[in-house]
Structure 1
Amino acid sequence: MRNICMQNNHIIGGEFDVDIQGFRHTKSNNGVLEGVYKYSSGRSALYYILLDVQKRYGIATVYLPDYLCSSVMIAAHKSQMEVVFYNLNDRLEIDAERFPMESEAKVAVLLINYFGLKNLEQQIAFVRSLSKNTIIIEDDVQAFYEFQKKELMADYKFTSLRKTFACPDGGLVKTYNELAIVADGNKFHQYKFAGSILKSLRKPEYYDDDVYLHLFEKGESHIDDEIVMGMSQMSQEIIVKNNFECIAYIRRRNAKQILEGLKSLGVRTVVPVPEEKTPLFIPIWLDDRNKVRKQMFQQQIFCPVHWPLEGMNVQKGVEMAEHEMSIIIDQRYTNKDMDFILNILEIALK
């Protein structure tokens, strides 16, 4: 057991809160919105990509991996694309021997950059080797820092801002094609932003957690209905004020500390975590994940699961839904927080 204080006076995990003063006074200092298309969410970004794929290339089928978020399925269904699943191996990469795509097929293939930890170049090359008619979509929803790179090997790539930053909404697309421009911002961001403000002001004597959690949930409930809408002006103002280099440094520092602790605890990560990557989370594999996660909840450490099945019957997804847990390492947290997480994890594993 690490010799540190076992008290935690704040919640670890959940949606981001907002620094109102920082939002007002920080100068805009990055070019994140230059040369991108802006939509309401990650699923909205994918929806508009799939519409363009249909119209531009006459493609009506999209191949999806058998481990994914249900929001990907929502975008596919709302764009009326036929879905074919392909198998992943234990490295969360295309299982080449079982890949169902025929030679020279005219389809779209979605590749997911899981947890921001994958290099997709070889998978892109593999798909292109089978068919030059295939359109490749890179899902960087968990990989903002990979989305930011100038190289565009896929035909389209997209990300979601609210997964990585204190933005209430926003999905971005990069492509050499000309996509639909949506000027009308969504409405759900208002609930998300209001919840973030209340969370930032939270004290037990002020109000219950249910007050701001209700706002988060209300915003979440409207995201699918507003899949055709654009990114809010509020998030456009917030995202350009983020210091990406500083945020990446904190995430990598926290990730390194967690990885060292996991090694000493004998806990393995779902996929390797390269030093040069900036992870969204550290995904770990647990035999009795639900027991461990429940004990961490009791200490106000809210580790998400990627992903709940939500009615999907996907082979790799079923396996991961029972054993994966994501350790939080984002820019809100300190070395002390990482030690606290590791201590509670150690207790929960016993």
Structure 2
Amino acid sequence: MTPLRFTPIGSFFELANDDLVRDVAEIPWQQPDTSLAYLQSGQQALRACASYLSEVEGRDIVVVPEFACDSMLAPFPQAEWTLVSFPVDASLRPDTHALSTIISQHERCVVLTMAYFGAAPDSEHIATLQILQAKGARVIEDETHRVLTASTRPIGDVAVASLRKTIPVPDGAYLRGVLAPAILEHSAPEGPRSHPGWEAMEAKSAGDLERAGELFTQSDRALSQLEPALLSPRTLEALSRLSHRQLANRRTSNAEALRSALPVNHEILVEASVPSHLPLRVDEPRAMQQALAKQAIYCPIHWPRPPRLAEASFPCDLISLPIDHRYNRADMSRIGTAVRELVNA
């Protein structure tokens, strides 16, 4: 193994440290009055929703925000679904007027919505979705960016979330809400499919980054299968023992520290109590991503434009800075310094 000049920040998770593990932990998205089911990936959860709504309810139009990733769209194949998009504003909030206009033309459609980067849906967002449901639309709310604050009843008919984006597990997704039992019964998921995700996390914890990366790529490929499968017992046990409150607190603390360390004139796009990342608008996100990677700071770009949204007003100027539970104020200072140097170069 080649010695590292910098301690890496970002990329996929290693195993959670012991201080984040409890005998029993409260799971924020698990509510006593809300039906809940687990699958292996967020794409599988969306595919299960799409299959039920198509095959049982006869729906074939999906309305999506103009800011979405390919993995949100893939479960609605072009051969089966007509895709219609609605705009989001500069702060990534849905244009509710445009959305309402679209629904008036396609009342029996499926609406896929999302509050980005940990932000909570505002009252206008919630009220609009209730109106759309009353008109006959089905609403799927993607909660992936805010699983650590998903402590209330889900918005819409069903909520889905991919867990490995913010929780230190290699796989996992949930379906929750009034439609979840019917969707799960219809999808009849297979038992857990094998993948080397846990081995990738173990290798990263041991410092073998090359092997970890290879295993993660293999795992990612296995999890890209759309046909639903059940969550593995090891992941389910991990979810039940992680301190989700500590995960949330560290994100909040790191976000505050990184805000203070960034250039004052940099626009932080979304304010959230528990952010998934700290998204910035920058002129050249790909160039900044590559420059930060040379300092072992690995930042995702949300998102490459999907081909099916080629004509959409898609934001292409975002880079997301990592703020998760693995880091502290010193790490946030390091990110802030690196960003400042690149901005001032």
The TM-score with structure 2 as length reference comes to: 0.87
Q: 1:78 to 1:180 in 2, by over 3 A?
A: farther
Q: Which moved more, 1:56-65 or 1:331-340?
A: 56-65
Task: Report how far residue 19 of structure 1 moved.
Answer: 4.2
**1:46-195 aligned within 5 A:** 46-77=46-77, 80-99=80-99, 100-102=102-104, 105-129=107-131, 131-146=134-149, 148-177=150-179, 178=181, 179-181=183-185, 182=188, 184-188=190-194, 190-195=195-200
In structure 2, what residue type is equivalent to 1:186? P
> Which is worse superposed, 173-182 or 277-286?
173-182
Pick closer, same or farther for the CA change 1:22–1:91 going to 2, 3 Å: closer
* Cα separation, 1, equivalents of 2:83 and 2:58: 15
Tell me the CA shift for residue 56 of structure 1.
4.6
**Structure 1 residue 127: deviation in Å?**
4.0
CA distance in 2, matches of 1:78, 1:245: 40
Find 2:11's aligned residue among 5, 9, 14: 14
1:225 maps to what in 2? 225
**Identical-residue share of aligned pairs (%):** 20
Letter of the 2:121 counterpart:
N
Separation in 2 of the partners of 1:248 and 1:48?
29
Distance in 2 (alpha carbons) for counterparts of 1:193 and 1:79: 35
Conserved? CA contact 1:33–1:240, under 8 Å: no
Q: Write the deviation string for residues 257-295 of structure 1: whole angstroms up to 9, x where unpaired.
A: 112223x43110123x14xx2110011000122332222
Provide the C-alpha distance between the structure 2 equivalents of 1:221 and 1:315, rounded to a whole number of angstroms.
28
Alpha-carbon contact 2:292-2:338 (below 8 Å) kept: yes
Report the Cα distance in structure 1 between the residues aligned to 2:324 and 2:98, rounded to whole angstroms.
36
Normalising by structure 1, we get a TM-score of 0.86
The aligned runs of 1:15-34 (5 Å cut-off) are 15-19=12-16, 26-31=22-27
Moved over 6 A (4+): 20-23
> Contact (CA 8 Å) 1:254, 1:334: kept in 2 or not?
yes
Instruction: Give the whole-Å Cα distance in 2 for the aligned partners of 1:104 and 1:218.
Output: 40
Q: CA deviation at 1:331?
A: 0.4
Alpha carbons 2:60, 2:81 under 8 Å: kept: yes
Cα distance in 2 between the residues matched to 1:132 and 1:71: 28
TM-aligned CA deviation for residue 77 of structure 1: 1.3
What's the offset of the Cα at 1:312? 3.9
Q: Matched residue of 1:260: which SS?
A: helix
Which of 194, 197, 204 is the matching residue for 2:202? 197
The one of 327, 330, 345 aligned to 2:324: 330
Q: Which moved more, 1:223-232 or 1:64-73?
A: 223-232
Structure 2 gap segments, 5+ residues each: none
Q: Distance in 1 between matches of 2:159 and 2:202?
A: 31
Matched residue of 1:50: which SS? Answer: helix
Give 1:101 shift.
2.5
Identify which range, 283-292 or 12-21, moves more after superposition: 12-21
Q: 1:28/1:81 Cα in 2 relative to 1: closer, same or farther (>3 Å)?
A: farther
> How many equivalent pairs are there?
330
1:74-94 CA deviation, whole Å, 9 max, x = no partner? 111189333222222222223
Using the TM superposition, give the Cα deviation of residue 136 of structure 1 relative to its aligned residue in structure 2, in angstroms. Answer: 1.1
CA contact (8 A) 2:61 2:82 kept: yes
Are the structure 2 counterparts of residues 261 and 21 from structure 1 closer, same or farther at C-alpha, using a change threshold of 3 Å? closer
Distance 1:54 1:124, change over 3 A: farther
Contact persistence 2:257–2:329 (CA under 8 A): yes
Change (3 A) 1:327 1:184: same
Q: Does 1:279 align with 2:275?
A: yes
